[in-house]
Structure 1
Amino acid sequence: MSWSCPACKRTKPEIARKTAQGILLCQLDEHHDHLRDHVEKLLKIDRDRVSEKQRVRITTARLAVMDLSERFGRTVMCCDCNQADGAAKLQIGGSLHPDFSFSPLEIATFITPMPNAAHQLDIPKARALWDSLRADVAQRLDFATMMVDRISKGLHDREPQRMPSESRHRRDADIVYDLVSRAAESRASALNMSRALLDRSCASDGKASTGKRSACRPIAVPSLSDFRTLNETKRHPGPWMRAGGNWCCPICERTKFEIVRKSNKGTWAAGIHEFSVYTEENDEDNRRRRSLRYDGAVIIAQAEVILICHDCRSILTEAKTIAPGAGDAALKPDDLRMLMGEPVPHRAHMLDQDAIRRTVTANREWEAGVEEFQRHRSEARLYRGRHAQLCHDYPKSKEAVFHNLLERWSSQLPEPLADVEGHFRWLLAEGQRYKDEDS
């Protein structure tokens, strides 16, 4: 009898009531965030098109995205509170996303609970609450869509590894104690200890210590039959199919047939991957406005995606392995062309790790510019989307919608801007530009 509903706070005896038909109702329901179901629907696995290994990886990634997308965990509550969620959403109507759910604490704000009776609902409160949550839900949906797209294309796989049993015994206290003790012997400060831990986590001791890969393996050339067999296994949506039959890598200029090579397991392998290419901003007004909130030297205008071979993509993978902190924008297309060496059909590129490290270091400002561009593009898209949705919902109040969003956006600025309204109109125009580029 100690349980009480997390939303209305009624105990079990207080939630019991008779229905209009004279039936005694005393029911508990499991309430959950339907955004979780939304992700599950987006990432539905076609078991006939993927291998068992791929299913395991997609399922693991899907569960992680579901956890990160939902706003609250599964909760047992009384049936009246669970029904209040559905009834409120029904009356709010079309502006509400079909997979949105109010949390238990949010339901508590628009119900009037009474012992042994159904709740009274305050729909204006529920509608105002939804309006305050709309932006957060939109961001979660955008995040889920982005992650689903990456997972579906095989761009967000996580390779599972098992630690040897003898290593697992020292995973926590022993390893941390040893690291902190060694750091404290020379520089006993919390900052240096944390730096020692970070450096050890990012270190690549022994990785590619010879500087260059050996080219001693003889080159195996696939037959046309081998190529057709491999090509047949890739007849599913993805970069390989989008590239078409006449594709050649824009970096190394090898054809689909020429990028096929023997893997370490002795099987024929080939792959095509997406690679983002960024262009610097040349419009003076855009540069001026971006510089008001960013003081870096590199300002990016736009991004486009090209399709490159697995060996050219592996140069970036190598960079992210041997140069701690290197991200997806660490290398530009011209860098890949310079670092790949002399491309040879049916052979992996011969990489110079020292040259890769130097190039990554030289591109730090470029990476910072790309990071700022991604932040700017995300913000512009977000506010354009909010503005368009609200103008659709309230077509007679477009000016009020604009000024409401302007106030919300400007309140989050670290420093006030001189022409804040003009800057916000420019931001909305940027969001429209990015939308047009995507379509």
Structure 2
Amino acid sequence: MKPGWPTHTITFEAPDIEAMSDEDLRRAFPYRDGRWSALISEALTIPGVEVVDLNGPWADTPQFWACPCCHRGKKALLRVSKTGVLMAHLHRHHDHLHEYIAHRLQERFGMEWTKGIPEGTYHLEHMGSQMIERFAPTILCQDCNGADAKAKRDLPQIDRYFSFRPDEIRRFITPVPNEKHKVDLEVALAIWLKQAGDFEPRLAFGRTIADLVGAGRLVRTRAPDGASPAYAPGRYALDWLNRDDVAGVRLRADAAALEARSISREGAGRNATTKRVDAPAPSDAELAAYDGGRYPELWAALPPDWRCPGCARDQRSLLRRSQKRRRRWSGFVQRHRQYVWSLPREDDTREPMIIGHDDMVICDSCGVLGAWLKQRRPDVADRPFKLQLSDISSSISASPNALHDVDIDALAEAARRACDRGEEEAAYERFLAYILAPRKTYRYFLDLLGDPGAAWRKTVDRYHDGADGETWAGADERLRGLLRDADEYEPLSDDLRLPDPPR
């Protein structure tokens, strides 16, 4: 439908990324980098190179880019692994001080601290983290970023939240083309000792900000919607382009296709064919003292005979030697939702559907596989999917006290099948949210008022709007039915069970 004002048509041509050959991409984007670029195409001819592992930051920087820390160009940054992988990696080097305030708040309010802090105080963490950090995030080569990590790993005197600036890293490395840097630990230690006096006040300021957040001080209210109607003239063309559904969708798809064709993680996680050495296991005392990692409450609630439903390992065998010098062990368990599907019958022509679910906990090695795959396979990176236990168990080889060996092709195929289940899973989650909402509302008013009768009347008042002629009594019966459905689909433990609403 055309608007009621005069218009004119602007026509332009954009490249069809999906239909273009690698040679077409090289001619259309001569400066951009990717697995198809002239730089990478030439490097892939090196004897012994089989695949390329090229990450997003590498693809997002031009071929003539040079590391601002060691000053090596991209050709001098490429390196071939022992397994024939051409490594093309850049990394976002950031100051770990930026995480200090968030970690302090996490200790007080839990992992989901952003939901637990007093309303109107998040800006203190957001702005304060930028105020205390020593340098802004900077893209560096993997060797400069690794030199920072090595110095801090080998020098336990250095505070865990300290990070070397790029100009400081440059002082304790010896760059060599296509090789890792040689690191001078004595120079690195001298830099830390010199900067320690500046570092401690930053920590103290961070502690003060965290205390202010916890106390609910310096609250800032948000501006009401429409209070800042700023309009940037430079967005004029984009605004009108986005109104054209066909053009906007097409160009966004092309941008995603260009990114997918530029990144290649085929070599990620590719190991040499050597026999895995048995990993050490925690002692009884270490296992008993372990804090549970990221989700301590889930770890503490595990029964003694628990085994991961994905890999069948127990608590002891899922722990791994930590790479952090202040923690001997790492590993945790996390929540997982397993959907229950209807069984097909010969006389039933209906499509299978989800009829229930089981909420359980699985080990982190199983739980991170979806995110791990998205980092390595651009073909599934932008598609939502939820891996199920069969997807996990069919794609891994599990060993005690180590990360899983993963068949990445099998996992990618499982992820594509999981994408096809997404619509039915989303429909089930909407249904589940619908039947659980009244129970959550009833609990809220019960905690607020303390009286089941008053709490239930408030709940019915909240949901009864008289739509379609529904009476208050009708809404009462409808919500009681939803409470029964909620108890069937997601039953509560005895200590969380709610009293039946009085009549």
Taking structure 2 as the reference length, what is the TM-score of the superposition? Answer: 0.40
